[in-house]
Structures are given as C-alpha cells and as structure tokens.
Amino acid sequence: MKSYVERAIALGIDIYGFSEHAPMDFDKYYRLNFSEMPNYVYDVTQLQEQYQDDIKILLGYEVDYLKGHMDERVLNSQVDYLIGSIHFLEEWGFDNPEFNDEYKNRNIDTIWQEYFNNIEAMAKTNYFDIVGHLDLIKIFNFRPKKDIRIIAKPALKAIKKANMVLELNTAGLRKPCKEIYPSSNLLEMAYELNIPITFSSDAHAIGQVGFKYDEAIKLAKNIGYTKAVTFEQREQQLINF
C-alpha cells in the first residue's frame, strides 16, 4: 500500500483513495476477509499520518451490490466513501474472463437491461456514495442492439435521486472495450441530470495508479464538467480540476 501512495505522490496526485473490495460471504477469493478489515483500516490510518504533508489519503471500500450477501459490518463502517458496483448478475461473474462464454448463451439486450436494473436497485438502497464503473457490462465489448441511453436512463435518474457520484474510471481503457467507464453518451446524460463525478484509475497494480488520468480529464471537460467530488467521512466536497 505504501508503494501505491508513493507512486501517487510521484505523479502529483494530491488526493488518493484506497477502495479495497469489501468482504462478503460470496466470491471470497477476490476480496478482503472480514478478519482483515481492522488491519486494512489500521494500514490506511498509518499511511494517512505518515504522508499527511504530501498527500491526502482516503479510506473506502468497493462493495458488491448482491442481494443477500451485503453485510452491515461493511455498510456501517466508518469510512470516507463507499463505492457500490455490480460484478454479478445473480451468480454469474460477467466481468471475469473465465466466464465470458456465457454471453453467447444469453440475449445481449436482456443482459444489459438486467445489469442496469441492478444499478437502479443499488442506487435506491441509499447505501453508497459512488457508482463504480457505471457501464462495466461493456467490458468484453458485447454491445446491445437497443439504444444504451434508453436502457440506462432509469438507473441514472435513480443515481441522481440518491445524490450519488459517478466515477470516471479509466480501467476500461485496459480492457477489450477500450473505453472509459462510463461512455461519453452516458456521461452526457449524467451531466444533463447534474450528476457529479469523481476520478478513478481502479488500480490493481502500482503501474496502474493514475492510469490515463489526462484522458479522463479531457473527457469530463469535453462534456462540460469543471468540478469533481472528493469525500471526507462520506461528505461530498467539490473541487476544481
């Protein structure tokens, strides 16, 4: 974790958030264990103190919205923010390359609709502060025949009503879709609805810290955004970029 912070400092990043995948009783391999939560909090707190003169470090979790598997120990934790995201349609891990053959067995429009129905339901819980990678369902570049904007509109309206923030997540540029999450047409809709944004490199390796940050800034400015959101103890704070 220290190496991630030092990489962020070297890149001139002034606010950096840790967003480890929160524990839950499903798909345990890809996330923290519940027993590791105290150590995670301790490590971030230590880094906040050690680097307080160089960078502001935030504590968060990325939480899978999956009915029957979310845990109050995570949802009620003392953090700066919670990212809500969808990685499963029921028990299908649609963004895992191991399981992407399943796309051939389903109607692509139905998949997209089911995904955005889940995004809408996630927003309506009011559990989360940030929507993670809004259109992750495009990861393997399986695109719907139906207009994506029509599919996503109810979810975006729910995000607005829940006062949530969209992340501009550059990880999509490292994936087969070769596109930032969300796409420019969905980001335009978000801008029209006055939904605020934040920035994420979704770094799973030190070399991915700040990945393509300049492209995310460019996209946001082209749409019309001039401010982004950061957090402190789950309170939104607007900053210029």
pLDDT at 27: 80
pLDDT at 226: 98
Let me know: does 172 contact 180? Beta carbons within 8 Å: yes
Mean pLDDT of 69-96: 95
pLDDT at 30: 79
pLDDT at 29: 73
Q: Which CATH superfamily is domain 61-240 in?
A: Metal-dependent hydrolases (3.20.20.140)
Write out pLDDT tens, residues 88-142.
999 899 999 999 999 999 999 999 999 999 999 999 999 999 999 999 999 999 9
Alpha helix stretches (DSSP H) within 30-130: 37-50, 72-75, 108-124
For residue 26, give the DSSP letter.
S
pLDDT at 69: 86
pLDDT at 15: 97
Selection from 218, 216, 230, 224 nearest residue 191 by Cα = 224
Mean pLDDT of 22-51: 93
Write out pLDDT tens, residues 147-168.
999 999 999 999 999 999 999 9
pTM of the model: 0.96
Selection from 54, 61, 52, 41 nearest residue 8 by Cα = 54
Write out pLDDT tens, residues 43-67.
999 999 999 999 999 999 999 999 8
Contacts of 128 (CB under 8 A, 6+ apart): 63, 65, 82, 83, 84, 122, 162, 164
Cα separation, 147 vs 109, in Å, equals: 9
What ranges do the domains of the chain cover? 61-240
Beta carbons within 10 angstroms of residue 26's beta carbon: 14
Helix, strand, coil in percent for the chain, rounding step 5: 45, 20, 35
pLDDT at 68: 85
Residue 212: band (very low, low, confident or very high) from pLDDT cuts 50, 70, 90: very high
Let me know: does 34 contact 73? Beta carbons within 8 Å: yes
pLDDT at 26: 80
Looking at the predicted structure, is the pLDDT value of residue 28 above 80? Answer: no
Structure tokens at 75: 């949802």
